Amino acid sequence: MRKARLIFDWIGENIPWTSALEYSTIPNIPAYCIRNSRGDCGIKALLFITLCRYNGIPAKWQSGWMLYPGNLNLHDWAEIYFEGPGWVPVDPDLNRQQTFVPEADLFFFGGADAWHFIVNDDFSGPFFPAKVFPRSETVDFQRGEVEWRGGNLYFDTWDYEMEVGGMIDVGCWMLDVVVGH
């Protein structure tokens, strides 16, 4: 846990957020992040995962939406594995927060799971049923893929909208996703 915290803190202190290219155009995402000293949420998550794995810490990708109050958006983060608790969410993009409660400063190192809606438990995975036409994004799958018998509909040809309706009894978010054209 100490090693993972050091990696988490280092990314927070040294890698600011910036928008990035489509991941499929970057040959080595963690190296890109180190070389450019910046990255978006997914690039920072992949750097965190790489550094954790290099140090013997099991880590994996998570992708979907962040549901932080007032900030619904596409988002990527990581999870690390500890004997006992199992997979624990770590969000190196949001990293340490300056709060008035010091115990909450590290909320994004193990405490942010309720604010993540997992859509994609891996990256570059196949679809079922398989797409007929080339994918819009070959690495990530946060906003989905749309195709019809005439071809793929790329991101610039459709929009989506998401509303969080509230909590249901089992503690899951109710989502209403509308896809328009």
* Averaged pLDDT in 10-residue chunks for the chain of 181 residues: 92 90 86 94 94 97 82 88 91 75 72 76 74 79 78 80 58 44 40
In a domain, residue 152? The reply is: no
pLDDT attached to residue 112 = 66
In a domain, residue 139? The reply is: no
Look at the pTM and tell me if it is higher than 0.85: no
In a domain, residue 178? The reply is: no
Residue 69 sits in a domain of what CATH number? 3.10.620.30
**Domains held by the chain: number:** 1
Q: Please, how many CA atoms are within 13 Å of residue 89, restricted to the half-sphere of its CB?
A: 22
In a domain, residue 154? The reply is: no
pLDDT attached to residue 170 = 41
Determine the structural domain holding residue 60 and report its residue range: 2-120
pLDDT attached to residue 158 = 78
Residue 92 and residue 47 in contact, taking contact as beta carbons nearer than 8 Å: yes
In a domain, residue 99? The reply is: yes
Q: Is 41 exposed, middle or buried (0-12, 13-18, 19+ CB in 10 A)?
A: buried
pLDDT attached to residue 154 = 80
Nearest to 142 by CA among 12, 17, 41, 15: 41
In a domain, residue 125? The reply is: no
In a domain, residue 115? The reply is: yes
Token pair for 109: 């190192």
Could you give phi then psi for residue 38, rounded to 5 degrees?
-170, 165
pLDDT attached to residue 168 = 43
In a domain, residue 53? The reply is: yes
